[in-house]
Amino acid sequence: MAIYAISDLHLSFKQPKPMDIFGDNWKDHAERTKANWMQKVKEQDTVLLPGDFSWAMKLEDTLPDFQFLNALPGRKLLLKGNHDYWWTTLNKMRNFLQENNIVNVDFIYNNSYCVEDTIICGTRLWSFNDTKDGKKMLEREINRLKLSLEDGIQQFGTQKRIIVCMHYPPVSNATMADTEMMQKIFAVLQEYSVSICIYGHLHGDSHKEAVEGVKNGILFKLVSGDYINFDPICLS
């Protein structure tokens, strides 16, 4: 049971939105994602998708995007991104999937999951560059992260490794980033002995803001689709 990750698929089968306007690397990105996924992901594996899954504005308009995902092997766990405007309550999303025969898909939403020896937690987070509401939003997201981590520990114990999914980067090389809030997030990850932290959101020139590698025992990985060439990366 391997664990893979890829974020920012930006699917738009209901109302096509060509993504190659953002660069040649986005050309035929859905087809490339499918081809790469099919080559490596098995039915017993889990794939983490931390945000910006669909451009749809309403839940019902995501159906062809979820049907695309449903045709791919593995269990899929989705996290909300800043462009997932269709996102609603957990019950509504789960009911929608059930009504449309979408299986092996669920949502990281103040909760947690367990895959063999690994606990999966997460929260969307917020931009460090938001000078207006940034601190308030980041404090809220830190609390949501703690809720997810606490849920994981209460359900699955303290002896498993923890992977945290975020949409926004929890650390950044951006010159305007709020280092105080960054340190608060880092402290929570350390407090709960998180092993791996994955995130997305960054595209194109913003890739240079990414922080990757092991920092104080935590492995940080940027998994935006265009950054990893739409090829899900293995975390186990």
* pLDDT greater than 80 at residue 214: yes
* pLDDT greater than 80 at residue 19: no
**Residue 79: predicted pLDDT:** 98
Lowest-confidence region among 35-39, 67-71, 206-210: 206-210
Lowest-confidence region among 82-86, 132-136, 171-175: 171-175
Question: Residue 208, class by beta-carbon neighbours within 10 Å (0-12 exposed, 13-18 middle, 19+ buried)?
Answer: exposed
Instruction: Count structural domains, the chain.
Output: 1
**Residue 209: predicted pLDDT:** 86
* pLDDT greater than 90 at residue 4: yes
In this prediction, residue 21 has a pLDDT band, given cuts at 50, 70 and 90, of low
Largest Cα–Cα separation, the chain = 46
Residue range 111-120, pLDDT digits in tens: 999 999 999 9
**Cβ(25)–Cβ(229) under 8 Å?**
yes
- CATH code at position 202: 3.60.21.10
User: Average pLDDT in the 122-139 region?
Assistant: 88
**Residue 132: predicted pLDDT:** 79
**Residue 205: predicted pLDDT:** 84
Q: Please state, in angstroms and as integers, the Cα–Cα distance from residue 17 to each residue in 5, 32, 127, 188, 235, following that order.
A: 23, 16, 24, 37, 30
The CA distance from 32 to 16, in Å, is: 16
**Residue 20: predicted pLDDT:** 67
Residue range 100-112, pLDDT digits in tens: 999 999 999 999 9
How high is the mean pLDDT of the chain? Answer: 93
pLDDT above 70 covers a percentage of the chain that reads: 96
* pLDDT greater than 60 at residue 44: yes
* pLDDT greater than 90 at residue 25: no
* pLDDT greater than 70 at residue 177: no
Structural domain boundaries enclosing 70: 3-234
* pLDDT greater than 80 at residue 175: no
